[in-house]
């Protein structure tokens, strides 16, 4: 099963709080970008030490840009890989205040680039995993329609592929992006 999240879930931490739990590694990567890219350690690997989840970025020539991209990828990886402790043992909590204010009570969708997307995704995935990957049941627990939750879960292609791997392993149909 997926590892339990330390409290609070790492996706909920601000950048400084998350970075305090991470180890940064800088390295070189080959490819387009010329001599600068091959000689300068601009590639960044970010490892979340408590969970050993990691993400990397090397497509930009600037280390600070790669660091920002790697951190965004790490948040998404943490949303996929780390479950809240209640999922396996404990009563199901009510949807969070963030969920209620940013997702359940608004008509608009949350942008993939918005800082709180991974936090909302992690909360939705906690419910989805607890409900054995049944979107309709998870949607009921979160107080949204099945279509609205499906839209969140399929907004990101990689997240949709990750969910579908789990659903297909259980003999369930894939979600459509």
pLDDT reported for residue 5: 54
pLDDT reported for residue 1: 44
Domain extent listing, the chain: 10-81, 85-169
- What's the CATH code, domain 10-81? 3.30.160.20
- Nearest 10 degrees: CA dihedral of 105, 107, 109, 114? -60
Distance CA(45)–CA(174), nearest Å, equals 31
Q: Please name the helix (run of DSSP H) or strand (run of DSSP E) that holds residue 47, with its range, or none.
A: strand 43-48
Is the CB of residue 134 less than 8 Å from the CB of residue 106?
A: no
Tell me the average confidence (pLDDT) per consecutive run of 10 residues in the chain, 177 residues long: 63 90 84 56 90 89 87 92 84 88 72 85 94 94 91 91 95 91
pLDDT reported for residue 108: 61
Distance CA(29)–CA(88), nearest Å, equals 40
pLDDT reported for residue 74: 94
Q: Is 166 helix (H, G, I), strand (E, B) or coil?
A: helix
pLDDT reported for residue 98: 87
Alpha-carbon distance values, 69 to 98, 113, 116, 146 (Å) = 24, 11, 15, 31
Distance CA(98)–CA(123), nearest Å, equals 10
**What tokens does 4 get?**
């339990």
């Amino acid at each position: 099963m997926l590892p339990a999240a330390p409290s609070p879930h790492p996706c909920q931490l601000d950048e400084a709080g998350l970075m305090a739990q991470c180890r940064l590694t800088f390295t070189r990567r080959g490819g387009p970008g010329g001599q600068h890219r091959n000689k300068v350690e601009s590639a960044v690997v970010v490892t979340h030490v408590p969970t050993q989840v990691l993400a990397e970025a090397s497509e930009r020539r600037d280390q600070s840009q790669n660091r920002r991209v790697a951190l965004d990828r790490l948040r998404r990886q943490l949303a996929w890989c780390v479950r809240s402790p209640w999922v396996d043992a404990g009563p199901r909590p009510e949807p969070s205040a963030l969920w209620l204010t940013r997702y359940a009570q608004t008509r608009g969708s949350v942008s993939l680039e918005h800082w709180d997307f991974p936090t909302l995704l992690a909360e939705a995935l906690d419910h989805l995993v607890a409900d054995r990957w049944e979107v309709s049941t998870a949607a009921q627990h979160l107080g949204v329609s099945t279509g609205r939750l499906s839209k969140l879960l399929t907004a990101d292609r990689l997240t949709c592929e990750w969910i579908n791997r789990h659903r297909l392993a259980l003999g369930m149909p894939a979600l459509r992006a």
